[in-house]
A and B are shown apart, each in its own frame.
Chain A
């Protein structure tokens, strides 16, 4: 019962990542003021992140970012759970508990980043 629903969640979040991830990449790709250099600035980490911030001020973009964050966290933690179980040959409860904790931390920390970037916080 539970496993089937988890697996359905895995598929749905996977497709969600495809949708929100496409928005994430494409928005940056086309709304960035310097279209010529977008790949340079995303590939070069030393570009000023504050220059990207105006794009993040859009509330819809922030919402899609949050969706991406949520989907990726669930998808990644569920995937890592399976990989770890298969790596050590058994399911260990505390490992799964740690993964849930890591997932909660990622969502909270990422949400904070999105909110700050969206000028809603601080």
Chain B
């Protein structure tokens, strides 16, 4: 493979305002090098002003989501060699405001999550604080929502969703998926309340099953499936 690749990195400085621009860097490639390694190389040796957000470098913290060659991916989870391209375009995620360079402000995602009551709802608060017995779940009950607990809140699905791009009020795949994770939990008592919350114009009905969310999810969470199941629940009342 090529000894070096060209990174086209989106740069945006809030002080300058206006449109961002692309700057090119030549990065030598070693075996097993990821996009994040390449960006860190740029930051260390070529251009210290580049801003990126990362933490774990092993696809578990969900900080380093960005768009690489036009598709959302975790920078630490994508090797340069697997792209098979000489030029690699790196852009921040869509549907979020850009803070600087590749760093996006994901507050809107967490705000929508909170609005959708993404926690276990129990009616009996006394029992909740001082449980009198164990609340055991069977394997089947676990399987019903286990897949959706794998989410690392990276926001890639939210960035890929065509409906969020065109209709920003839509709740988005990740918040709805998170909601379904609690809706499907056998210990949750939210039921009707949750359905009323998503049965709105901005709710599940704006999903057109374009599948982009499931396509880009790095953890195999499949938000599209969760939204269809949530919709089935609200269609059946």
Binding site for B on A (CB under 8 A): 1, 3-4, 6-8, 82, 85-87, 89-91
B205 shortest CB reach to chain A, Å: 5
**A86 and B201 within 8 A (CB):** no
Q: Is B97 an interface residue (CB 8 A)?
A: no
Specify which chain A residues have a CB less than 8 angstroms from the CB of B203 in the assembled complex: 3
Extra contacts besides A3-B203, A85-B201 (12): CB < 8 Å: A3-B199, A3-B200, A3-B201, A3-B205, A4-B205, A4-B234, A4-B235, A7-B235, A86-B167, A89-B166, A89-B169, A90-B169
B163, B166, B203 pick with most chain A CB within 10 angstroms: B166
A-B contact count (CB 8 A): 30
Q: How far is the CA of A100 from the CA of B167 in the complex (A)?
A: 22
B235 in contact with A8 (CB, 8 Å): yes
Report yes or no: A1 in contact with B167, Cβ–Cβ below 8 A: no
Contact residues of B between 181 and 234, Cβ < 8 Å to A: 196, 199-201, 203, 205-206, 234
In angstroms, Cα B170 to Cα A90, docked, is 10
Docked pose: A77 CA to B177 CA in angstroms: 29
- Whether A4 pairs with B199 at a CB distance below 8 angstroms is yes
Q: Measured between alpha carbons, how far is A4 from B206 in the docked complex, in Å?
A: 11
If A4-B199, A4-B234, A8-B235 touch, whether A85 touches B205 (CB-CB below 8 Å) is: no
Residue of A nearest to B167 (CB): A86
Q: Which residues of A contact B163 (CB under 8 A)?
A: 86
